Each structure stands twice: as structure tokens, then as C-alpha cells.
Structure 1
Amino acid sequence: MVTNSEAAHTSRRADTGHGPGRNRPPTVSLCIPAYQAERHLQTTLDSVLAQTFTALEIVIVDNNSSDGTREILEKLHDNRIRIIRNKTTVPMVDNFNLAIRESRGRYVKLICADDTIEPDCIATQVAVLEADDNVALVSVRTDFIDDEGALLRPARGLRGIVGRNSGRTVVRRIVRSGSNPIGPPVAGMFRRVDFDRCGGFRGELLFPMELDLWSRLVRKGDFFGVPRTLASFRIGSESTTALTSARSQLAQQLEFTSRLVHDPEWQVPLSDRILGRINAYDMQMRRSLLFALSALRASRRRRALGSEKGRERPG
């Protein structure tokens, strides 16, 4: 686990007239862990800064990046933003946890540095949590996009769990689906107090890391699925998931599901277990195809760009 002594803290609070007062905690913390994020970070920040809900802070943790991430962050001037720079590069799970544990908001959303959210995403999710103290996790549907932001698959997530659902219903759906029906980190919002109580992110199984957190959060209360597409998840050709072998992804998913099945709190029926194992193989094949498609598109763009540059050279 990362301690504060391992990170260098830098805050920028230009007087823009936005956000919470200097001494008043924000309602929401948007936490952005960033590492080698130069390519997409500005797009992510633009979507975050365009939110209609303004009682928020933006906590960005630069995990000792060596690309242009630092230069992008140095150009930010907004009193809602706090920038933290790690002195050394730490494991991804530690950087995720550090970003959230530096937050001050009652509600928290973690946004990876290549994902985006729609302008009313935060307002919509906050409204759900404010309306019902017994909801521990709220999620939205997510578009899957490629490296350049082109749509790969629209409106993913929440199949069978739209609206309010108990933790047991959600866990049964996780097992039955063989995948992650709640969505990636950018889809969710939760209470900071519940995050602390359930122990934060765990890195033992890296591939289903957020799904592991989701399943522990719904022990603390109900789940609410908002049937609107308010976030975009980038299927990056060089992301951590893309660089993890399909065999490893499947093995981790099956191991995680097995742990849920053997947890007596959830009482998962045999029929869900059998169907879930079949679906896990099918979903892994679909996931692999999506990443292959994203990589193919990226390769074609690079070749096209190379051809254009070649034509521009003088003969």
C-alpha cells in the first residue's frame, strides 16, 4: 500500500469561481489515476471539467509518468483540481487506492485516464445516492470505444440489473453472466465510507479488480443501475487488459466467480453456476475480438498515416 510519504503532493487552485469553498468538503470526488497517459488524458479531463454538477473535486495521481503527462497537468488551472505525483512508479492497484484515499468527497468515482463521461453523468449518479441512503453503488451504461474514440459497441452493461437490485441479485447476475454486468470503473459511483469499510481495491486478481470491489460494495447496500449511456470505456490496444493474455483473463474470471459461488452469503444456485461457466468462455472470446478489432483499427491508421507522410516527402 502506498503511504503519503511515497508521493509528492502538488495542488493547483486557480480562482475560477467553480467548485466547493476552500474549507467545505466537496460532495463528489472524481479520482483519476494516470500513468503514461499523454495520449488520452486531455480528452478525459475535458469530459470531467464539462460536468453540470460543480460541487466536486478532481484528484489526479500521476504515477511517475515519463511521457507528456506532467506537461498536460502543469497547464491545468482550476480550483477543483488537486494533483499528486508519486516519487516512484507503484503498482496500478496502489495508485487506484491512493487516488481515492486522497479524496474528500462523500461520493467517489474513479475514472481511468483514457475514459470519458457525459456532462450530466455525475449529476445523475449523485441524485440516486442522495435519494436513498441504502444504495451503496450506482452504475450507468457504457459505450466501448477504440483508441481514436470511434464506437466499437454501444450501451454496454446492466443487463438484468436495471433499477434497484439487492446485492444477492447482482452477485447472481455476475456469476450467471460470466463477465462484468456492472461495468468498468468509469461506470460506477459509490460512497467513500463504504470504500473504506470494504478495504478498497485488491490486486490479487488484477483482471476482475473492479468487479471484486463492486461485489464487496453491494454487501454494504443495494445496487442501482441507471439505464442511460453516460460513460465511455476505451478498448485501448496497449491497455493493461489488452496486454493480459486471454487465458489469464479467463482463469482470473473463473477464479473470482468461484469465490463468489463459495461465499455462503450469496447462495448462488447451481443453475447460475453452470450457465456462468459456459458464458465465461463465450464472453472471453467476445472480449478478445473487441481488443483485436481495436488493435487492427490502430494498425490501419498507423499505416495510413505512414503512407500520407511518404507522399508528402519531396521526390
Structure 2
Amino acid sequence: MTTSTTSTGSTAKPPRVSVVVPAYNNAEFIAATLESILAQDYDDFEVVVADHSSTDETAQVIARFAHDSRLRILAPTPRGGGAKANWTRVTANARGDLVKLVCGDDLIEPTALSEQVAAFDANPDAVLVACKRRLIDANGEVVLESRGLQGINGVLPGRRAVRATVLAGTNIFGEPACVLMKRDVLEQVGGWDSEFPYLIDQMSYSKVMLQGSMVALDRTLASFRISATQWSVRLVREQASQAAGYHRALQARNPGLLSATDVMIGNARAHATAYLRRLAYIWLRRRM
């Protein structure tokens, strides 16, 4: 059952963009997330939000926005299923040609939709547009500015972009708030892919980009909120292991995309990046 503040009948014209928000235990931040989306200077969009049966006040905070006709609040997503369950649910309820997923503690800039839609309009063959982002802490203070894309810029073949992220050993396209995708292409490739759960966004982007070109915008249009939770050595190893699995799967399923050397370099850099990320989180915890 879906709670909606606006008509979604068959005669209603679908919006160009759907911003979908899977929320889970985000009571402290979800209001800021929704406010950043609703503050866009672009008008032709809807917001679809669902709480994943949170144990805090997330659902109550979301309910405060029910008066906004651009917002559709879904009934809570049942517990279980990991991120994929709620990501898939909100995306399945999207009606726009283009879809952007914004997690319940992240932010987007007021021009994020207008700039990314303009990139699609200028490049009809593109299947995905990505931008840079800043990293912020729990208080909204900037920790790192202008991160992501690792030097790629403008329009490039999706295969080249996928190879670039493998060689970097990290997700150069950023979290979902950085990305706007063609919804039908995401559906065609099977939706959000959680074969490697820590890389659900990166693997899904790759499957989409292999269907066409992408546009990299050298603009910071999103903010990713990082936690002061200390990463364990076990978690670091698991993430690096999943990255290596992702690289091998890409190589096996897409002949000619990656060489053995590409995979070796990507795996080594993924391992190093995971440990650097753990050190950064330890520093953040002490900073807080």
C-alpha cells in the first residue's frame, strides 16, 4: 500500500525525473536530505521515499513532508533484505525517465537535477551522468571537497568509464546521489545488483554504462555524509575481497573489457584504498 499526496492516475503525465530515497535509521538527517531535494531549481521531478522499518523516528520525520505534492511516501518496507530491498522498492515505484537515488543522510545541491538533466539533453545517447561530491561529517562540516571521477571529464564510452573505475580500485562515480541514470536501462540490466553488497552502487552503474556512453560533470553537486564508526580489519578485508570479485566478474562476463593486468592493478589498488579508508575513519572518530 502506498500513501500519496498527489494523484498518480493513468492520465497524469509522468515527471522527467524520479528522486528515490531509501531511508533507514536516518531520523537525525532525513529532514535535511528531503529539504535539499525539494529545494531544486528544476521543477519536473517527483520524490519517492520509503522507510526500511527503522527503529528510530525516521518514519515520523518523513511524515512531516507529506503535505508536499511532489512527495510520495510508501508504506514501510519490511525488515530484511539489506540495502537492495529498499533501493529496489523505491526505484520500482519511480515514474520518471531518469532516476536518482539519494540515501537518507546525503544531500544534493539545488542545481543537481537541472545540470544533470541538461547533460542528458545535450547527449541523448548517454545512459548515466555522474558528478563530483564533497564528504561531510555528522554536523554537516566539510571533511573533503570535490571528490570523485579521478580525472575523467565530459562524454566518454561507458566501457572506458568502467575500465577507469576498475583501474582506480575504487568507485570513482561516487554514491548514488552523484548519479542520474536512465530508468529503463537500469531495469533492462536487472536493477540494483547486490552480488557484491559493498559495491551495490558501483556494480549497478557498470552494468548500465556498458549499454552506452556516460557524462562526467566536473562539478560538485552532492554531499556524502560519513560516519565516525571505526572500520574493523575484517570489514576492510571483506570490502577488498568483494572488489576483487567484482573485477573478476566484469572480466569474465565482458570479453575484451579488462586485461589480466587491469584486474591485477585494480585488485591491488582496491586493497590499498580499503586500508586508507579505515585510517581516514579512525581519524574522523578522533576528530569528532
Answer whether TM exceeds 0.5 for this pair: yes
Question: In structure 2, which of residues 262, 265, 270 is the aligned counterpart of residue 272 of structure 1?
Answer: 262
Question: In structure 2, which of residues 193, 203, 214 is the aligned counterpart of residue 202 of structure 1?
Answer: 193
Q: Which residue of 1 aligns with 2:122?
A: 131
Question: In structure 2, which of residues 36, 41, 59 is the aligned counterpart of residue 70 of structure 1?
Answer: 59
Q: Which residue of 2 aligns with 1:112?
A: 103
Q: Which residue of 1 aligns with 2:24?
A: 35
Once the two structures are TM-superposed, the CA of residue 292 in structure 1 deviates from its matched residue by 2.0
Question: Distance in 1 between the 2:234 and 2:27 partners?
Answer: 21
Once the two structures are TM-superposed, the CA of residue 98 in structure 1 deviates from its matched residue by 0.6
Q: Structure 2: where are the runs of 5+ without partners?
A: none
TM-score, normalized by length of structure 1?
0.85
Superposed, which structure 2 residues align to 1:156-171 within 5 Å?
156-171=147-162
Superposed, which structure 2 residues align to 1:164-179 within 5 Å?
164-179=155-170
Question: Distance in 2 between the 1:142 and 1:40 partners?
Answer: 17
Q: Which residue of 2 aligns with 1:212?
A: 203
Superposed, which structure 2 residues align to 1:137-148 within 5 Å?
137-148=128-139
1:208 aligns to what SS in structure 2? helix
Q: What percentage of residue pairs aligned between the two structures are identical?
A: 30
Question: In structure 1, which of residues 216, 223, 229 is the aligned counterpart of residue 214 of structure 2?
Answer: 223
User: CA deviation digits over 1:260-296, x for unaligned, max 9?
Assistant: 2233444323442332232112211221122223333
Question: Distance in 2 between the 1:242 and 1:143 partners?
Answer: 24
Once the two structures are TM-superposed, the CA of residue 238 in structure 1 deviates from its matched residue by 5.1
Distance 1:178 1:87, change over 3 A: closer
Q: Structure 1: where are the runs of 5+ without partners?
A: 1-7, 15-21, 299-315
Once the two structures are TM-superposed, the CA of residue 158 in structure 1 deviates from its matched residue by 0.8
Question: Distance in 2 between the 1:67 and 1:243 partners?
Answer: 28
Once the two structures are TM-superposed, the CA of residue 253 in structure 1 deviates from its matched residue by 0.9
Question: Distance in 2 between the 1:161 and 1:252 partners?
Answer: 24
Question: Distance in 1 between the 2:91 and 2:14 partners?
Answer: 14
Q: Which residue of 2 aligns with 1:182?
A: 173
TM-score, normalized by length of structure 2?
0.92
Q: Which residue of 2 aligns with 1:12?
A: 5
Q: Is the 8 A contact 2:243 2:267 kept in 1?
A: no
Q: Larger C-alpha radius of gyration, 1 or 2?
A: 1
Question: In structure 2, which of residues 33, 46, 58 is the aligned counterpart of residue 57 of structure 1?
Answer: 46
Question: Distance in 2 between the 1:237 and 1:209 partners?
Answer: 22
Once the two structures are TM-superposed, the CA of residue 85 in structure 1 deviates from its matched residue by 1.9
Distance 1:235 1:10, change over 3 A: same
Coordinate RMSD, CA, aligned:
2.2
User: CA deviation digits over 1:107-162, x for unaligned, max 9?
Assistant: 10000000000000110001111222210010000111112212222111111321
Once the two structures are TM-superposed, the CA of residue 90 in structure 1 deviates from its matched residue by 3.3
Question: Distance in 2 between the 1:205 and 1:116 partners?
Answer: 25
Distance 1:173 1:207, change over 3 A: same
Question: In structure 2, which of residues 13, 22, 37 is the aligned counterpart of residue 24 of structure 1?
Answer: 13
Q: Which amino acid aligns with 1:182?
A: F
Q: Which residue of 1 aligns with 2:245?
A: 255
1:109 aligns to what SS in structure 2? strand
Q: Which residue of 1 aligns with 2:271?
A: 281
Distance 1:263 1:67, change over 3 A: same
Q: Which amino acid aligns with 1:98?
A: R
Question: Distance in 1 between the 2:262 and 2:193 partners?
Answer: 25
1:54 aligns to what SS in structure 2? coil
Q: Which residue of 2 aligns with 1:80?
A: 70
User: How many equivalent pairs are there?
Assistant: 284
Question: Distance in 1 between the 2:37 and 2:174 partners?
Answer: 18
Question: Distance in 2 between the 1:244 and 1:128 partners?
Answer: 40
Question: Distance in 2 between the 1:34 and 1:220 partners?
Answer: 29
Question: In structure 2, which of residues 64, 67, 85 is the aligned counterpart of residue 94 of structure 1?
Answer: 85
